[in-house]
Every structure is written in structure tokens, then in C-alpha cells.
């Protein structure tokens, strides 16, 4: 099998990708020929969902091995961080949508 530590590392990496891609969209938004913005938006949302899934899968592993103390120690923080990840990702992508919609209207 695989080492479950990779679930946490993958979750962190995907969370960072979920935030970096909308920022790249906004920075490159000044260029008129940026046609991949919608693709980056979907990749960002997918990375956010995958990051949260990795955390759910990690906690499933903790339940499966009956490591209740680890589960109780981490569930509060993971819930908070997952909520922040989701909210910030949605806000960044909505800002991207608004910026590109305004450019399309002009």
C-alpha cells in the first residue's frame, strides 16, 4: 500500500494550487489573448475538491485503524482549514469570473 503521509502532502500541494491558479489568472488577465482562464478556473476548483477529499480519506484511514486520539486531535483544525480553503478558493474564482466578465462586456 502507500504511506498515508502522502495524503497530507498532496492535500497541502493541491490547496496551494487551488489558490495560485486564480492569482495567475488575475495577473495574466491584463493580456487580451488569455484564453485559458476558464480552464485554470476549473482546475483550481478541482484542486480544492481533491485537497478536501484527501483529508477525508486520511481521516477515514484514522477511523479504520482506530486511532481515535489522532482523529480527535486533528478533526477541529482540519475542519477549519478545509472551510478556509473552500471559501478563499471560491472568492478568488468569483473575482476572476467578474474580472473576465467585465472584459467580455467591453
What DSSP character marks residue 32? T
pLDDT confidence of residue 77: 95
User: Which pTM does this prediction carry?
Assistant: 0.89
Element (H, E) at 67: none
What residue ranges of the chain have pLDDT lower than 50?
A: none
pLDDT confidence of residue 37: 86
What is the chain's percent helix, strand, coil content, to nearest 5? 85, 0, 15
Q: Where are the domains of the chain?
A: 5-24+38-105
Q: What is the rounded distance in angstroms from the CA atom of residue 6 to the CA atom of residue 91? A: 28
Amino acid at each position: 500500500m502507500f504511506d498515508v503521509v502522502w495524503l497530507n502532502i498532496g492535500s497541502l500541494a493541491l490547496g496551494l494550487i487551488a489558490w495560485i491558479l486564480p492569482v495567475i489568472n488575475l495577473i495574466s488577465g491584463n493580456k487580451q489573448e488569455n484564453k485559458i482562464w476558464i480552464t485554470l478556473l476549473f482546475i483550481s476548483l478541482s484542486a480544492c475538491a481533491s485537497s478536501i477529499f484527501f483529508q477525508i480519506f486520511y481521516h477515514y484511514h484514522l477511523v479504520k485503524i482506530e486511532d481515535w486520539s489522532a482523529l480527535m486531535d486533528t478533526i477541529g483544525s482540519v475542519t477549519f482549514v478545509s472551510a478556509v480553503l473552500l471559501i478563499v478558493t471560491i472568492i478568488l474564482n468569483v473575482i476572476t469570473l467578474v474580472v473576465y466578465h467585465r472584459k467580455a462586456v467591453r
